[in-house]
Amino acid sequence: MIADALLLQLGYNATLVAIGATLLGIAAGSTGTFLFLRKRALVSDAISHATLPGVGLAFIVMVWMGGDGRSLFGLMAGSALSAGIGLLCLNWLTRHTRLAEDAAIGAVLSVFFGIGIVLLTVIQTLGAGRQAGLESFLLGSTAGMLRADAAVIALGGALVLTLILALRRPMTLVAFDPEYAMARGVPVARIDLAMMGLVMAVTVVGLKIVGLILIVALLIIPAVTARFWTDRSDRVVLLAGLFGGLAGYVGAAISASAPNLPTGPIIVLVGFALFAASLLLAPGRGVLAAVLRHLRFQRRVHLRQGLLALAQGQPIYERLTLRLLRRAGLARADGIATERGRARAAKALRDEKRWEVVRADLAFEAAAALYDGLREIETVLTRDQIAEIDARLGGPKGVPA
């Protein structure tokens, strides 16, 4: 069943939902990257909660005008208007009061969400019929989604992606260094507003599928996931869009294969699974890579200390040190150095004495700053400099083979 869903074999409507969720995930992941890099991730939370009053007011207005109040386009328009007002309130509070941004976010989030809950409660008492189900905008629901609804969501996601491609360079510059961007003549305030506008657009488009509460996860989790895999901003944006789209596609497919499973939470859980896998397995920043680096560093320390002990005729009591020396062919089982081990041990002791000279001489101050007890001195000093140090030590000149 899941295989059929992944291959888009569960019908036209399920296919539209999967495509819409994929485009939404790509747009959300790419947009959230700029928020993440700008260190304004919580702004998405305020914008998403600010959409709820608009949903309630749009429903009331449509019912008052004789409609059934369930037009997705009308509800999205109302939520966009409400989110825009919330965004303007947030900007005004941060620019014209002494409130820090996190305090302003808390104020806007709580007030708008409270107003929205009150409106939803009032709507339930209107007796207008067919109003039940508006609470699905809190957590998302694709049950009963019409073809026109899926088309609106897919079109909105595609439009957001187009705007991201057009604005990616100035948004990247502002996200990393707003002062430099301002010096280059980039209108930082307008770019920030455009960035927030894209977040608002993603939030509004994703209301039906993910819901206003969970859309924050779809904005931030793919960006954080992508950050584990690369340090380049353009690749982070690309990977965040890929992870977001994959979460949307797989989550929608799983939900379609088991109709009792809600689409929004499943999408978020798939996104979290990608995050957890990246946290563990990413080659540069993952937990497994960090553990392997630590184990390699530990082995280097043990080998270095073992070689120094062999050079000075000291017994080796540490089992791990002796095992590493034996494995490298530098010592026998009884702790006696092999011929190759004696040469390496003499070199290690000689290098320690060289480093002592380097660290005591101000002329080598830059090189001395690189000393960590493990670094080969040949990677820091030239042969002539090492020969000069050997002359001071009174030993053989030059670098031993």
Q: What CATH number does the domain located at 2-263 have?
A: 1.10.3470.10
Q: Report whether pLDDT(395) > 80.
A: no
Contact 208, 72 (CB under 8 A): yes
Query: Quick one: pLDDT at residue 45?
Result: 82
**Tens digit of each residue's pLDDT (9 = 90 or more) over 70-125:** 777 788 888 889 988 988 898 888 888 888 888 888 888 899 989 988 888 888 77
Structure tokens at 364: 């080598």
* Contacting residues for 212 by C-beta, under 8 A, at least 6 apart: 48, 49, 51, 52, 79, 137, 138, 203
Specify which residues 331 forms β-bridges with. Answer: 337
Find, among 144, 137, 89, 135, the residue nearest to 112 by Cα.
89
Rounded to the nearest integer, the mean pLDDT of the chain is: 84
* Contacting residues for 330 by C-beta, under 8 A, at least 6 apart: 303, 306, 307, 310, 337, 338, 340, 341, 344, 345
**Tens digit of each residue's pLDDT (9 = 90 or more) over 115-168:** 988 888 888 776 554 455 666 676 666 655 667 777 777 788 888 888 888 888
Averaged over 277-293, what is the pLDDT? Answer: 92
Question: Which pLDDT band holds residue 401 (cuts at 50, 70, 90)?
Answer: very low
Cβ atoms within 10 Å of 238's Cβ, excluding its own: 17
Instruction: Please state the domain extents for the chain.
Output: 2-263, 288-393
Contact 242, 228 (CB under 8 A): no
pTM over 0.85: no
Question: Which pLDDT band holds residue 398 (cuts at 50, 70, 90)?
Answer: very low
Q: Report whether pLDDT(322) > 80.
A: yes
b vs e for 1-12, b when ≥16 Cβ sit within 10 Å of the residue's Cβ? eeeebbebebee
- The residue ranking higher by pLDDT, 98 or 288, is 288
Instruction: For residue 82, give the amino acid letter.
Output: S
Query: Quick one: pLDDT at residue 242?
Result: 94
Contact 219, 32 (CB under 8 A): yes
